[in-house]
Amino acid sequence: MIPMVDLKAQYRSLQDTLEPAMLTALEATQFILGPNVQAFEKEAAAYLGVEHAVGVASGTDALHLALIAAGVGAGDEVITTPFTFIATAEAIDYVGATPVFVDIDPRTFNLDLNAVESAITPKTRAVIPVHLFGQPVNMVELMELCVARDLHVVEDCAQSFGATVETKNGSVQTGAFGDAGCFSFFPSKNLGCFGDGGLVTTNSSEIAEQLKSLRNHGSKVRYYHSEIGYNSRLDELQAVVLRAKLPQIDNYNQNRRRVAAAYAAGLEGLPVEIPFEDGFGTHVYHQYTLLSEQRENIMEALAAADIAHAIYYPVPLHQQEVFADSCHGVSLPVTEQVAAQCLSLPIYPELEGERVEQITDVIRSVF
Ligand SMILES: *Cc1c(COP(=O)(O)O)cnc(C)c1O
Q: Whose CA is closest to atom 6 on ligand 1?
A: 59
On whether the CB atoms of residues 204 and 166 are closer than 8 A, the answer is no
pLDDT digits 0-9 by tens, 156-187: 999 999 999 999 999 999 999 999 999 999 99
186 lines ligand 1 (CB under 6 A): yes
pLDDT at 276: 96
pLDDT digits 0-9 by tens, 196-235: 999 999 999 999 999 999 999 999 888 999 999 999 999 9
Which pTM does this prediction carry? Answer: 0.98
DSSP state of 276: P
Average pLDDT of the chain to the nearest whole number: 97
Mean pLDDT of 246-259: 98
pLDDT for residue 264 is more than 90: yes
On whether the CB atoms of residues 117 and 102 are closer than 8 A, the answer is no
pLDDT at 279: 87
184 lines ligand 1 (CB under 6 A): yes
Distance from Cα 118 to the centre of ligand 1, integer Å: 27
Q: Rounded to an integer, what distance in angstroms lies between the CA atom of residue 282 and that of residue 257?
A: 9
156 lines ligand 1 (CB under 6 A): yes
Q: Which domains, and CATH codes, for the chain?
A: 7-102+109-247 (3.40.640.10), 249-366 (3.90.1150.10)
DSSP state of 194: S
Distance from Cα 323 to the centre of ligand 1, integer Å: 19
DSSP-derived pairing of the beta strands 52-56 and 77-80: unpaired
Distance from Cα 261 to the centre of ligand 1, integer Å: 26
pLDDT at 9: 95
Q: What atom in ligand 1 is closest to the CA of residue 184?
A: 7
Report the Cα–Cα distance between both ends of the chain, in Å, rounded: 22
Distance from Cα 366 to the centre of ligand 1, integer Å: 33
Confidence of residue 236 (pLDDT cuts 50, 70, 90): very high
Mean pLDDT of 311-339: 96
Q: Whose CA is closest to atom 7 on ligand 1?
A: 59
Q: Whose CA is closest to atom 2 on ligand 1?
A: 158
Confidence of residue 36 (pLDDT cuts 50, 70, 90): very high
Confidence of residue 29 (pLDDT cuts 50, 70, 90): very high
Q: Rounded to an integer, what distance in angstroms lies between the CA atom of residue 357 and that of residue 215?
A: 46
DSSP state of 285: -
- Which residues pair with residue 290 across a beta bridge? 343
Helices (H) and strands (E) in the chain, counts: 12, 14
85 lines ligand 1 (CB under 6 A): yes
Distance from Cα 63 to the centre of ligand 1, integer Å: 9
Please report, rounded to a whole number, the percentage of residues in the chain having pLDDT higher than 70.
Answer: 100
Mean pLDDT of 279-301: 97
Q: Rounded to an integer, what distance in angstroms lies between the CA atom of residue 311 and that of residue 321?
A: 18
- Which residues pair with residue 199 across a beta bridge? 55, 183
Distance from Cα 268 to the centre of ligand 1, integer Å: 32
84 lines ligand 1 (CB under 6 A): yes
